[in-house]
Amino acid sequence: WKDGNATLSALYEQITMPNIRVYIRVLETAEVPAIENFKKQLSILMKRYVEAKDNVKFLSTLERHFKNLESGKLRVIFDTIPSMLDSLRMVWIISRHYNREERMNPLLQLIAKQIAGKVERAIDVQKILGQYPEKQAMEKLSIAIDVLEKWQSTYENVKRQIGEDAQNSGMDQWNFEKKYLFDKTNYMTEACRTLSSMVKTSYQFRNFLGKELQNVTGDSAAIEKVRKEVNNSLAPILKIKWSIFDEDYDKMWEQMQGRYKNSVTAIEERCNALIDESFKKEKLESAEESFELLEK
């Protein structure tokens, strides 16, 4: 809109110059046939100039929000979403040109796409599952989920406010197709929840298979074997070359999750067998340690 406004402003200044106005009046007086088509085109030009000027004025109020979406971290984006959507609501109410679906809907879709892109770039699956400590991984996933959910919940609140305003003013409501705004971000939310569950499960297994279990059972070889199974359960996911946030790979992602769940079930059985076998062989050296282990 800025580029369009700059171009149209230059044309407007040229056409409204005194000497050009004189020429137009002369042509009108002479009733030159081409003047009517010229006036129609001039009218279209003026409407587009007014629209571009108006849109630049209102969209400029959103510029800082858009910069936050482009360059801010997820926490900044989380804080930006409410004020950004409230500003969009004001634009919808006041603007003479951005209060139509064909203008606002594409803008909201671009915002949804930008939010999804920022989350996808922030969540590196290999680092989340294979490098970060549990706390760091969970924090990254938590803020990603918060941002994705904040986007839809804030939109719904603003839509409701616009609906209430519309009852008194007669202006249009926000009745945009939600699949274009939220299908992608909702899909990503579920993927982040799945990653969060994987991080938590792996941490719980590694915590259980620690020194306390080894001290209690004395079977370090069996424990190490199960530890390798825990690591191997995530290996296929760490090797994927496609994005788990891409819905085109949803079937492959479902298969990955299914295999992981089967691995978790098998590991749980191994852990239970370790404890049972230790009891049977009377390997437990301390009743207090044993109960503490079972509480895990």
Mean per-residue pLDDT over the chain, rounded? 84
Look up the pTM and report it: 0.79
Average pLDDT rounded to a whole number, residues 130-153:
96
Output the DSSP codes for 94-155: H-SSSSSHHHHHHHHHHHHHHHHHHHHHH--HHHHHHTS-HHHHHHHHHHHHHHHHHHHHHH
Q: What are the tens digits of pLDDT across the range 71-105?
A: 999 999 999 999 999 999 988 988 777 788 888 99
Close Cβ partners of 119 (under 8 Å, ≥ 6 residues apart): 74, 144, 147, 148, 185, 188, 192, 245
Alpha-carbon distance of 123 to 246, in angstroms, equals: 13
Looking at the chain, how many residues does it have?
A: 296
pLDDT of residue 28: 67
CA atoms in the 13 A half-sphere facing the CB of 115: 34
Please report, to the nearest 10 degrees, the dihedral formed by the alpha carbons of residues 214, 220, 222, 227 taken in order: 80
pLDDT grade for 6, boundaries at 50, 70 and 90: low
Q: How many CA atoms lie within 13 A of 267 on its CB side?
A: 25
For residue 296, the model assigns a pLDDT of 53
Q: Is the pLDDT of residue 58 over 80?
A: no
Average pLDDT over residues 15-33: 68
